[in-house]
């Protein structure tokens, strides 16, 4: 079973008295089709990949905002500049578009778009998060835990919250929290199996 990271975190930190209904709502949400009209950052992600593949120049990447709808233009203009500035400021190295698979007790979690930096001979992964708002602290902690499970060889894991308003990196993890999320993943799978067998 594959669910979005945000859905799993909602379950993991949700109301423990309503586990069954929470798991059911997550499973039901999986039936919703992809809606490109709601994918606000699709053009930016594609342009970023083209830029990193050397298919477009710095100038073309920075001019992306002139080729999108007016309601996206100002945000895209800031995003492009912020991305280049942050890569330079933190010596980030592009690592491609391959998805990262996190397997937690059989629960597959996927994210993508990551960069890395070398510091003190340690590998540190920084994942990109596209969103209109900064991740809530609780969800950010949970996502860091999930990503650490996906990349156990990383000395540190970070989230780059990339949006017009903020650029934030978060690093390091809490082992107790990682263990807690692992237990919640196992519980989710048991509930999901019970729900499906009851159908």
- Using an 8 Å Cβ cutoff, are 127 and 157 in contact? yes
Residue 33 is classified by DSSP as P
Domain positions in the chain are 5-39+91-198
C-alpha distance from residue 25 to each of 73, 90, 110, 177 (Å)? 35, 39, 19, 24
9: left (phi over 0), alpha (psi -120 to 50) or beta: alpha
CA angle 102, 187, 31 (to 5 degrees): 65
pLDDT value, residue 53: 93
Reported pTM: 0.70
- List the pLDDT tens digit at each of the 199 positions of the chain: 567 777 788 888 887 778 988 888 877 766 666 677 777 788 888 899 899 999 999 999 999 999 999 988 988 998 899 889 888 887 888 888 777 777 777 777 777 677 887 766 667 778 887 766 777 777 778 888 888 777 776 767 777 777 766 666 666 677 888 888 888 888 888 888 888 887 7
pLDDT value, residue 64: 96
pLDDT value, residue 164: 65
pLDDT value, residue 63: 97
pLDDT value, residue 170: 67
pLDDT value, residue 144: 82
Residue 56 is classified by DSSP as S
pLDDT value, residue 1: 57
């Amino acid at each position: 079973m594959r669910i979005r990271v945000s859905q799993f975190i909602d379950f993991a930190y949700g109301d423990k008295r309503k586990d069954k209904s929470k798991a059911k709502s997550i499973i039901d949400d999986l039936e919703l089709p992809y809606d490109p009209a709601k994918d606000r950052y699709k053009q930016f992600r594609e342009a970023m990949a083209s830029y990193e593949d050397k298919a477009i120049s710095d100038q073309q990447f920075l001019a992306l905002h002139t080729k999108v709808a007016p309601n996206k233009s100002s945000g895209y203009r800031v995003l492009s500049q912020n991305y280049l500035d942050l890569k330079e400021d933190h010596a980030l190295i592009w690592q491609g578009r391959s998805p990262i698979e996190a397997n937690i007790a059989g629960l597959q979690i996927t994210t993508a778009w990551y960069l890395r930096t070398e510091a003190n001979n340690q590998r540190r992964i920084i994942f990109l998060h596209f969103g209109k708002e900064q991740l809530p602290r609780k969800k950010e902690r949970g996502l860091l835990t999930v990503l650490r499970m996906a990349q156990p060889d990383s000395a540190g894991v970070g989230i780059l919250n990339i949006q017009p308003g903020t650029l934030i990196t978060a690093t390091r993890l809490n082992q107790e929290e990682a263990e807690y999320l692992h237990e919640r993943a196992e519980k989710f799978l048991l509930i999901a199996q019970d729900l499906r067998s009851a159908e």
